């Protein structure tokens, strides 16, 4: 996203911050999603658009097309890779259950259950 900020004054950056934070919140801070959004808006800026306009257009496009894309058969079948995030998660849980069966004193599933209850933005390192 370097291209978006090159040559922007402090005032321009201050105006971009709310739009950037809106996109970050919309994408739930997911690194890959943010990287893709930055690539998209950066390409628009490289083609002559203003950074704020490119980000606002990305925001509108995301909301407009999100539900339609998620329901689209073409989107679902875009990859031959038939494993989903859920599949990877289930495989990880199965592995952790194997650890518990091998050593009942180690309880990784209970630790995950506890961590699921914590606010991901406010976990104190002292807990660990």
Lowest mean pLDDT among 60-64, 72-76, 105-109, 112-116: 72-76
> Among 14, 26, 88, 101, which Cα is nearest to 51's?
14
The predicted-structure confidence for 52-103, as pLDDT tens digits, reads as follows 898 988 888 887 777 776 666 666 666 565 555 555 566 677 777 877 888 8
As a whole number of angstroms, the distance between CA 19 and CA 38 comes to 12
Name the pLDDT band for 21 (thresholds 50, 70, 90): very high
Q: Are 41 and 1 in contact (CB under 8 A)?
A: yes
Q: What is the pLDDT of residue 101?
A: 82
Looking at residues 19-32, what average pLDDT do you find? 85
- 39 vs 73: which has the higher pLDDT: 39
125 pLDDT exceeds 70? yes
Higher pLDDT, 25 or 127: 25
What is the rounded average pLDDT of the residues 7-19? Answer: 77
DSSP result, 13-62: HHHHHHHHHHHHHHTTT-HHHHHHHHHHHHHHHHTT--HHHHHHHHHHHH
Report the percent of the chain where pLDDT is more than 90: 3
Kindly report the average pLDDT of the chain as a whole number.
76
């Amino acid at each position: 996203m370097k291209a978006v900020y090159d040559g922007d004054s402090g005032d321009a950056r201050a105006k971009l911050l709310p739009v950037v934070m809106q996109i970050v919140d919309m994408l739930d801070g997911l690194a890959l999603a943010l990287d893709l959004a930055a690539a998209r808006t950066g390409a628009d800026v490289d083609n002559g658009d203003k950074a704020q306009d490119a980000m606002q257009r990305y925001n509108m496009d995301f909301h407009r097309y999100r539900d339609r894309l998620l329901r689209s058969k073409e989107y679902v079948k875009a990859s031959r890779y038939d494993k989903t995030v859920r599949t990877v998660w289930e495989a990880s849980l199965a592995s952790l259950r194997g650890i518990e069966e091998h050593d009942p004193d180690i309880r990784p599933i209970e630790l995950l259950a506890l961590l699921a209850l914590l606010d991901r933005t406010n976990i104190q390192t002292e807990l660990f």
